[in-house]
Structure 1
């Protein structure tokens, strides 16, 4: 039988909401600043993308076309990040009780996939250029690449001023960084072609830039997928959390059925069962456990089921403190 004070999670939401008030205010301020930065960066990127695409066609440069392709995905990434942050500000409702935070994670996943796709496309085009070289106008590449480098430096610096912990901003910044490298590669290719006439440098540098991007793009995909799969935070040791609660809350003698997951990039949720002595004050145990979770782990949204007798769940017989579940 479960004790009368077992929590179903609804009662503690008010406490967690009040505990999150200052954090939400700080996040709203950061998101407002990020929206302005992303909006200006989007406009600047899109306009120059059109210029660079036209220049790549005129010059016959894969490096410029690859850079224009990067800038197209940059513009899409910035637009997606902007929209995701805007929609994520909507309050929770009866259909989406945790709000729209997952949209920001989904936008990051899409941006990471877009980077991988454009990288693969550029590599295929580079191989074709190696097999069938084409004339390249080094002077046109040089001046357009130089302007592109300046634009990308401005956008990159702007995004670096945004919320460094926002994975949307991180994804958009990675797109712009990849394009910045593409512009630098285009300039180097132009100089080599102008002074030596060696045109293979154009696709060669394009492939080099792609290789630099792949690792970071994969990191974004892996991180966002982990959140979408409701994985535990990477820096949270569930076994250590369990032993800490058992040590710091005197009336808790066993913690099991621990599940932790991420709703958004930083919003950690936790559910668990806590077995206590028959004489324990359940309300006090809840307060102490929640205080430990908030102070030590930053978890302010926890649902804790207090058990004064044996666990009533069918699978509790297979659960011991050494087998608490994660994620």
Structure 2
């Protein structure tokens, strides 16, 4: 199979009409039909059912579609990268977690002004995705919690910033007027909002450590797929959570309040990590900026 066949296949899945796909792609309808048939023959399955009135994906077609999209995305990214390199322009790939995004933005602000011709891809990962990305060295740079750093020594790093876990409540919540340290017993009637352990294992476990240290067992708990969704729910008055202080300041500073956890250490350190052997000239330039911005 070739990328043209993949591109035609995806177009037909979007229109379910060979004529409309041909019009969008600026090719003859017969060309699309022939390429789809060739693709089906190579795969050994029918991707579409066809009749005089309608075109529909088969079960095999639906199963193949996400892989086709991945192939097209990879091919387009590779083509873009090659065009950048052939024109003498650089390319940089960076992955970050939400709590490191503000530091990354400061670095990018300086970098874009200094090197406007270098293309940069930025990927926002949850905790689990970032752990995997760092183990696989998927990107030129990884901005993450320090505990995510693999212990095999393949990545170098510098500390970028730090924050603490805090209790996050809706704006104007009565608990903000209580004296510190906060008595967690008063939270028993509140709904506890957390991110799924699968997506944020470090944050989930750190949060449970805080709960155990205060003998707090949530009675009503709701789980969300993203930490940002937890903040959105808090801002709507649906409950409270325990989160890194960087998140509410970044996403909903005017819709939530934070309460320090004054009776235990909840300090969290963040890093920028990169492969020990920097072979990408653009990455070397970006590292200079990171050191400059963070003082690392």
TM-score by length of 1: 0.21
Structure ranking higher in strand proportion: 2
Structure ranking higher in helix proportion: 1
Q: Decide which structure has the larger Cα Rg and report it.
A: 1
TM-score by length of 2: 0.22
